[in-house]
Chains A and B, each alone.
Chain A
Amino acid sequence: GEDVEQSLFLSVREGDSSVINCTYTDSSSTYLYWYKQEPGAGLQLLTYIFSNMDMKQDQRLTVLLNKKDKHLSLRIADTQTGDSAIYFCAEAKAGGGNKLTFGTGTQLKVEL
């Protein structure tokens, strides 16, 4: 199957680190993505990682991929109130025409 699963909610204090987790079932996934969706808005591509990589860092964002366990995580350092949003992980697989399969989204709430 092509299931991508995420926990529904995460609440953190401003300044702390946030870790959003995602598991997927399709071992042929080629690229794995993190998108951010603010209320009433479209999806913003945050970062993505190729399946032969273990880690990718981009400023406050760190993506970790455990291919053996099919587990992907997004760490946001020094979380700010502007990071409050829904975060979607998504996968694309080779030969799949690059169509994305999305998780259900994790709502991140940043409290003062």
Chain B
Amino acid sequence: NAGVMQNPRHLVRRRGQEARLRCSPMKGHSHVYWYRQLPEEGLKFMVYLQKENIIDESGMPKERFSAEFPKEGPSILRIQQVVRGDSAAYFCASSPGRSSYEQYFGPGTRLTVT
């Protein structure tokens, strides 16, 4: 049973470009969470999605960041017009459902903005 998949594992973007990070949850999981880990810090919650719905986006920056989890395909975290401060590791986690308190993490995408 494959775990949570994220791609790419490493992404380099120039300032002003767009970054698209993908997350495929574990089989049978319909809930996805995105977290950001800045250098030397713990993880911070960004957004919680169910298929076709954003449940909680209280941790998302107000501008340039968006997330989706379509009916088919992976969840996508999109960062427009990236800045150096967006450089971080972005982790996705999945869980089977709202009543489950277990979250399983992917390997992360390390974004570097030059």
Enumerate chain B residues within 8 angstroms of A48, measured Cβ to Cβ.
101-102
Instruction: Give Cα distance in the complex from A41 to B107, angstroms.
Output: 5
Instruction: Give Cα distance in the complex from A44 to B31, angstroms.
Output: 18
> Which of A4, A30, A98 touches B48 (beta carbons < 8 Å)?
A98
**Contact in complex: B105, A99 (CB < 8 Å):** no
Separation in Å of the A53 CB from the closest CB of chain B? 13
**Contact in complex: B42, A105 (CB < 8 Å):** yes
> Which of B33, B42, B58, B101 touches A30 (beta carbons < 8 Å)?
B101
Interface size grouping (class) on chain B: 20 to 34
Instruction: Give Cα distance in the complex from A99 to B91, angstroms.
Output: 13
Interface residues of A in 63-112 (CB under 8 A from B): 88, 90, 92, 97-105
Separation in Å of the B32 CB from the closest CB of chain A? 12
Interface residues of A in 1-37 (CB under 8 A from B): 4, 30-31, 35
Which residues in B have some Cβ–Cβ distance to A below 8 Å? 4, 6, 31, 33, 35, 41-45, 48, 55-56, 58-59, 91, 93, 95, 98, 100-108
Enumerate chain A residues within 8 angstroms of B56, measured Cβ to Cβ.
97, 99
Which of A97, A98, A101 lies at the interface centre, i.e. has the most chain B CB atoms within 10 A of its CB? A98
Which of B101, B102, B106 lies at the interface centre, i.e. has the most chain A CB atoms within 10 A of its CB? B101
Enumerate chain A residues within 8 angstroms of B33, measured Cβ to Cβ.
98-100
List, sorted by A's number, 23 A–B pairs whose CB atoms are closer than 8 Å. Answer: A31-B101, A35-B105, A41-B107, A42-B6, A42-B91, A42-B106, A43-B105, A44-B105, A45-B103, A45-B105, A48-B101, A88-B42, A97-B48, A97-B98, A98-B31, A99-B48, A99-B56, A99-B59, A100-B35, A101-B45, A102-B43, A102-B44, A105-B42
